[in-house]
Amino acid sequence: MHSVNLGLIGGGTVGSGVWTTLQRNGPLLGARLGVEFQISRVAVKSLEKARLVEFPESIVTDNWRSVVEDPAVQVVLELVGGKTVAREIAIRALELGKPVVTANKALLSAFGEELFATAARHGTNLYYEASVAGGIPIIKVIRESMVGNRILQIAGIVNGTCNYILTRMKLEGAEFSTVLRDAQRLGYAEAEPSLDIDGHDAAHKTGILASLAHGFWVRPETIHTEGIREVTPLDIQFADRLGYTIKLLGMVKELTWQTGENRGQRAIQIAVYPALVPNRHVLASVNHAFNAIAVSGDVVGETLYYGRGAGAEPTASSVLSDLADAALDLVHGCRRRVPPFVPHAREANLIPMAEVVSRYYVRLLVLDRPGVFAGVANILARAHIGISSIIQPEGHAGEVVPVILMIHDATNAVMQKVLIEIEQLPMIKSKPVMFRVEPFE
Ligand code: HSE
């Protein structure tokens, strides 16, 4: 039996989860692979801090360098979170030719290109299954299992906090801020909740998936990102009446440029935004903190992956799967995996959100007076935008009431322009709110 020594860096929720899970399933994993795993060194931030598991004193240190550089450590598990120390750990380990396993999506999003290049230069691998959607094995699916497909679309519910908030808003009519507090209490939310609710965490994950699907590193600043702060219980109710559920989606779509000199050319849209998902589509019924990702390939059609996107054990499940790959690399000397990038793939194909054609749900707050619709309809007609339906709950003349418009296909740029014009009408009482509709046809 071969033995593989691991250096575990990080004693928080994920590090402790990996430790406990390896105690439980290490022998099973080892028997499957013909490898005996041993966590030979552990580095934590502070030796004083109380933690979820007691690491043996003989192997624990607060000096991560001593773990990474220990010649006996063969695989480094970077489980510290954050971007600064985590980057140093990963780079140093890769420079030493040691495979690195990470769960850190923010690190990958910011420094993925550098990390993969360092791994390639030093003939080793960077493994990151746990960085997207926790326990769902999505990296391997896109990178390896769908390697024979052209990836046409990825639609992912990849932020559990937002999904938890939107689910409770729908099921209980609860207010956003109340549910956010519960999500924080339950430990779903990031330390900085804006990372979740403003869509940044989802953008990190969506960028990682998009990179795998399209072969070039996606810089986070190129991802159009919107969060869920503007979604109200009213929107959720109206969407439901229209047959939809609002979800925060990470979207990676292959589409055709519809306007301008690129018209007809292939383009890739990468974005995160709250969208109306038809209730008939399975993503609409992914509730609470669960994640799900629908991936469509030109050969296989639509596939779906569902599970827990966060938490100690789901994350540990993915880390263990990476560990298995890293151990097999070491033991059998095969370090070649399906490469994460395609030579010559370029971000030039990225389409700016302004040029993307979508359908829309628009909420207006109007003074209920004769002529209000005519004003709105005129503006839309001048921009050649069709309305597919209108809902106005019964109110009393002179009151301020919500009006919901479902809008036919228009570019995002045209819609933004039109909404600015509508906002200036005297009977419009607040900034119009717009969400995209994803038809999943
Ligand atoms: N805050 C993240 C989420 C944790 O809510 O999905 C997992 O990345």
Q: Where are the domains of the chain?
A: 2-127, 142-308, 356-437
Under a CB-based contact definition with an 8 Å cutoff, are residues 106 and 89 in contact?
Answer: no
DSSP 428: B
User: For the chain, how are helix, strand and coil distributed in percent, rounded to 5?
Assistant: 40, 25, 35
Residue 100 CB neighbours (<10 A): 28
Under a CB-based contact definition with an 8 Å cutoff, are residues 244 and 281 in contact?
Answer: no
Q: Which helix (DSSP H) or strand (DSSP E) does residue 19 occupy?
A: helix 13-33
CA of 133 to the centre of ligand 1 (A): 8
The CATH number of 2-127, from 1.20.20.10, 3.40.1160.10, 3.40.50.9100, 3.40.50.720, is 3.40.50.720
Query: pLDDT by residue (tens digit) across 329-388?
Result: 999 887 678 887 777 777 778 999 999 999 999 999 999 888 888 899 999 999 999 999
Beta bridge partners of 391: 404
205, 247, 253, 429: which one is catalytic? 205
Q: Assign 356 to helix, strand or coil.
A: coil
Ligand 1 atom closest to the CA of 189, numbered from 1: 1
> Where do runs of H (alpha helix) occur along 260-345?
312-332
CB-defined site of ligand 1, < 6 Å: 134, 159-161, 188-190, 196, 201, 309-310
User: Tell me: domain 356-437, CATH 3.30.70.260, correct?
Assistant: yes
Distances (CA, A) of 53 to 15, 158, 160, 224: 9, 28, 25, 40
CA of 201 to the centre of ligand 1 (A): 7
- Give me the amino acid identity at 386: G
- What percent of the chain is modeled with pLDDT above 90? 84
Question: Using N-to-C axis directions, what is the helix angle for 200-214 and 105-121, rounded to 10°?
Answer: 30
Q: In testing the pocket of ligand 1, which one of 158, 188, 208 has its CB within 8 Å of the most ligand atoms?
A: 188
Distance of CA 360 to the CA centre of its chain: 22
pLDDT at 52: 84
Residues with Cβ within 8 Å of 84's Cβ and at least 6 positions away in sequence, in order, are: none
Q: Which of 10, 80, 85, 86 is nearest to 41 (CA)?
A: 10
pLDDT at 334: 72
Residues with Cβ within 8 Å of 248's Cβ and at least 6 positions away in sequence, in order, are: 157, 159, 162, 163, 166, 199, 202, 227, 228, 272, 273, 274, 275
Q: What angle do CA 50, 313, 31 make, to 5 degrees?
A: 110
CA of 289 to the centre of ligand 1 (A): 9
Closest residue by Cα to atom 7, ligand 1, is: 310
HSE of 341, CA atoms in CB hemisphere, 13 A:
17
Global pTM value: 0.96
HSE of 322, CA atoms in CB hemisphere, 13 A:
30
Q: Which of 362, 368, 370, 373 is nearest to 420 (CA)?
A: 362
CA of 220 to the centre of ligand 1 (A): 17
pLDDT at 4: 97
Which tokens belong to 295?
């991936």
Domain topology for 142-308: Dihydrodipicolinate Reductase; domain 2 (3.30.360)
pLDDT at 406 over 80: yes
- Give me the amino acid identity at 219: R
Active site residue 83: no
- What's the rounded Cα separation, in Å, for the pair 309 and 132? 8
Q: In testing the pocket of ligand 1, which one of 161, 162, 163, 291 has its CB within 8 Å of the most ligand atoms?
A: 161
Ligand 1 atom closest to the CA of 158, numbered from 1: 6
- What's the rounded Cα separation, in Å, for the pair 290 and 1? 38
Least confident of 109-118, 121-130, 181-190, 213-222: 181-190
CA of 167 to the centre of ligand 1 (A): 15
Beta bridge partners of 350: 268
- The residue-averaged pLDDT of 379-398 equals 87
pLDDT at 332: 87
The model's confidence at residue 197, banded by pLDDT at 50, 70 and 90, is very high
* Higher-confidence position of 149 and 190: 149
Radius of gyration of the chain (CA): 24
Ligand 1 atom closest to the CA of 159, numbered from 1: 6
Beta bridge partners of 304: 294
pLDDT at 228: 97
Q: Which of 285, 223, 241 is nearest to 440 (CA)?
A: 285
Ligand 1 atom closest to the CA of 188, numbered from 1: 5
DSSP 228: S
- What's the rounded Cα separation, in Å, for the pair 227 and 246? 12
- What's the rounded Cα separation, in Å, for the pair 321 and 140? 10
